[in-house]
Structure 1
Amino acid sequence: MRAWQLEDFGLDNLRLAERPTPRPKRGEILVKVSAVSLNYRDKAIVDGVYDPEKMPKYLIPVNDAAGVVAEVGPGVTEWQVGDRVLSHFYSHWLDGAPARDEPDWQLGGPLDGGLAEYMILEAKSAVPTPANLTDEQASTLPIAALTAWFALVEYGKLQPGESVLVQGTGGVSLFSVQIATALGARVVATSSSDEKLRRVAALGASDLINYRTTPNWADHVLDLTNGRGVDHVVEVVAGEGLNQSVRATKAAGHIALVGFLGGQTAPLNVMPLLYSQVAIRGIAVGHRRAFLEMNRWIEQQHLEPVIDSVFSFEESRRAYERLEQGPFGKIVIRVGD
């Protein structure tokens, strides 16, 4: 099979190669990959800033994959050849609290991912593809959509009429806007681009803040909410901005920390956090049970992911370059038919 492999850190070292097509062992399935989508994590792995010590040489990157079962291994009864399936990021996290070693079982690093014509999945962790989505659309779900769902529904228990602050217009952020809007929440969106804010408004955001022209955006959020603050924040930036998120959140509200665009350390002001009693929860995607529940909801709602652009398999490095440019929506790579 053809596969993109990371021979060293840096995009120039992501190279297309021929590799033996794997065969499924007991409890595994072989998937013919149709499409994959990129997340910020994928870029961070290639750049060598995401757990570089854990990444093996010649890693096949990218978790988020959609495809069709091509072969089942011994003992597999839940899947048949021809079934449409999705990868699940944490291949061993099926339900409940995560184990300490869940990061050791992440697809797309340190385990091989889906930027190849075929990939191996554990039968118990694979997920059925929502019937209302194409494989290209469905490939956007495993990390970005599930992270948003876990932050707002599994953790946040979002209720109609509550308010959600969503930062930026990346994949997790846009899914957060779509999910929160569909659940009847008020959405406050931030971005550095007025054009992107207009597009977010079309997805359901009712309040828009350009954080470049309004650098003290937390004050504006308080004005919008009569001084109360929002019920939930989907925090994708972290860094210094985490203090503004605390300020923008209501007393005893929720901050779902899902990203690190502003850096992997945050100088947090402790006293405002103590006084507000805001809960900050790290969200690292979610378990398989939530993935299944989300997919059923997506089918019922007829939700369609926002896709910025689709690249061919041979153009995979160009897809990473597009991700660097700050797209509106997901970057998808079409792998097979």
Structure 2
Amino acid sequence: MNVFEIQDGFGLDHVRKAERSIPVPGTGEVLIKMRAASLNYRDLGVISGFYNPNLQLPLIPVSDGVGEVVGLGEQASRFKLGDRVSGIFTQSWLSGEPTQEGLASTLGNPLDGLLAEYAVLNEQGLVRVPAHLTDEEAASLACAGVTAWHAIVEEGKVKSGDTVLIQGTGGVSLFALQFAKLHGATVIVTSSSDDKLGRAKSLGADHGINYRSTPEWAQAVLELTHGRGADLIVDVGGAATLNQSLSALRLGGQISLVGILSGASVEGFNIIDAIQKKARLQAINVGSRAMFESMNRAIEQNKLRPVIDRIFPFEQSVDAFLHLAKGTHFGKVCITF
């Protein structure tokens, strides 16, 4: 079978096509013929060596993908041949709280990922995907969708009347927008592009703030909420955004820490302000299988559709990574097999 591997060093120039034998499912495992994959910024971090400079190579990257069950190992009974399934990000996190051991079971680092024509996964690390979605839409759920669901629903407990601030228009952000609207919230979106803000409003966003023309966007949030602030802020920026997120938060509100697009170390964080506001900072690390399944039920019942920016053929997988790295996308960047 054809795969893409990080072969002999870090960087996109070390991601190359290769051949491997089609894997054989063992006890409790499932053979999947991949149909589509979707990319996350984490994949770029793995390829660059940011997450694990001691990564064992070669490694198949990419954690998110959807395929058809084409083989069953002994005692595998959760699925039948022909089922369309997605792997969960942390293969051992089925429900409840995550464990330290679970960090070693994430797809695409340290485990081989899904940028391959076939993959074998334990049946416990799989979920069925909503029938109304295309392969590419379904492939976008595992990380971006579950992360947003975890932030908005599981931890944020967003309800009708809440105000949710969402940074950016990438995969997690647009899922968060859709899930927040699904639960009746008022949603404010920030972006550097007026065009993207317009597109976000077409998906249901109530307000848009261009953080380039309005660099003190926290003040704009306070004005839009009549001085109260946002109930929940989905922070994907990290270093450059966390202080303003705190300023834009209501008393007793929550910031969901999702990304580090502008860096992982925050200087000048105002701890006194955080204490006075009784702010809750909740880190979100994707989610469990149970969260994935709950999200899928909501997506199916409401016929929600993920936002896809662009689809690349498998042969052009490196081009897909390059497109993601530009940061101009609106929604998910996908690969079709």
Q: In the alignment, is residue 149 of structure 1 matched against residue 149 of structure 2?
A: yes
Deviates more, 1:70-79 or 1:88-97: 70-79
Q: Does 1:292 align with 2:262?
A: no
Amino acid in structure 1 at the alignment position of 2:278: Q
SS of residue matched to 2:255 = strand
Q: What percent of counterpart residues are identical?
A: 47
Equivalent residue, structure 2, for 1:21: 22
1:158-206 C-alpha deviation (Å, 9 max, x unpaired):
1011110000111000111111112111000000111111111111111
Number of matched residues? 334
Q: Tell me, which stretches of 5 or more residues in structure 1 are unaligned?
A: none
Cα distance in 1 for residues equivalent to 2:135 and 2:122: 19
The Cα of 1:121 is off from its aligned counterpart by: 1.2
- Using the alignment, how far apart are the partners of 1:181 and 1:104 within structure 2? 34
How far residue 237 of structure 1 moved from its aligned partner, in angstroms, is 0.5
Corresponding residue for residue 250 of structure 2: 250
Where in structure 2 are there 5+ consecutive unaligned residues?
none
Q: TM-score, normalised by structure 1?
A: 0.98
Task: Tell me, in whole angstroms, the C-alpha distance in 2 between the residues paired with 1:175 and 1:56.
Answer: 32
Runs of 4+ aligned residues of structure 1 deviating over 4 Å after TM superposition are none
- How large is the Cα RMSD of the aligned pairs? 0.8
Amino acid at match of 1:47: S
Determine the structure 2 residue equivalent to 1:331: 333
**1:78-118 alpha-carbon deviations (Å, 9 max, x no partner):** 11111110110000000001101222110011101110000
Within a 5 Å distance, the mapping from 1:292-311 to structure 2 comes to 292-311=293-312
2: CA distance between counterparts of 1:144 and 1:104?
20
Distance 2:183 2:56 in 1: 41
Residue 250 of structure 2 aligns to a residue whose secondary structure is strand
Task: Provide the C-alpha distance between the structure 2 equivalents of 1:39 and 1:180, rounded to a whole number of angstroms.
Answer: 21
Give the Å deviation of 1:120. Answer: 1.3
1:328 alignment partner AA: F
**CA distance, structure 2, for counterparts of residue 306 and residue 207 of structure 1:** 19
State the 1:131 CA deviation.
1.1
- 1:332 offset after TM fit, Å? 0.6
* 1:167 alignment counterpart: 167
Structure 1 residue 233: Cα displacement:
0.4
Deviations 1:251-271 (A, max 9, x none): 111111010001111222211
Q: Secondary structure at the residue paired with 2:287?
A: coil
Q: Which residue of 1 aligns with 2:51?
A: 50
C-alpha distance in structure 1 between counterparts of 2:200 and 2:67, whole Å: 29
**Partner Cα distance (1:52, 1:147) in 2:** 25
Q: SS of 1:131's equivalent?
A: coil
Query: How far did 1:60 drift?
Result: 0.3
CA distance in 2, matches of 1:9, 1:107: 18
Q: CA deviation at 1:11?
A: 0.3
Query: 1:104-253 alignment to 2 at 5 Å?
Result: 104-253=104-253
User: SS state of the match for residue 310, structure 1?
Assistant: strand
2:81 match = 81
The separation in 1 between residues aligned to 2:199 and 2:134, in whole angstroms, is 23
In structure 1, give the amino acid aligned to 2:326. Q
Instruction: Out of 296-305 and 266-275, give the one that drifted further.
Output: 266-275
Aligned to 2:42: 41
Structure-2 separation of matches of 1:120 and 1:9? 25
Output one character per residue of 1:121-145: Cα deviation in whole Å (capped at 9) or x when no partner. 1101200011111111100000001
TM (normalized to structure 2)? Answer: 0.98
- Residue matched to 2:272: 271
Secondary structure of residue in 1 paired with 2:254: strand
User: Distance in 1 between the 2:215 and 2:209 partners?
Assistant: 9
Aligned mates of 1:58, 1:223 — CA distance in 2: 52
> 1:70 deviation in Å?
1.2
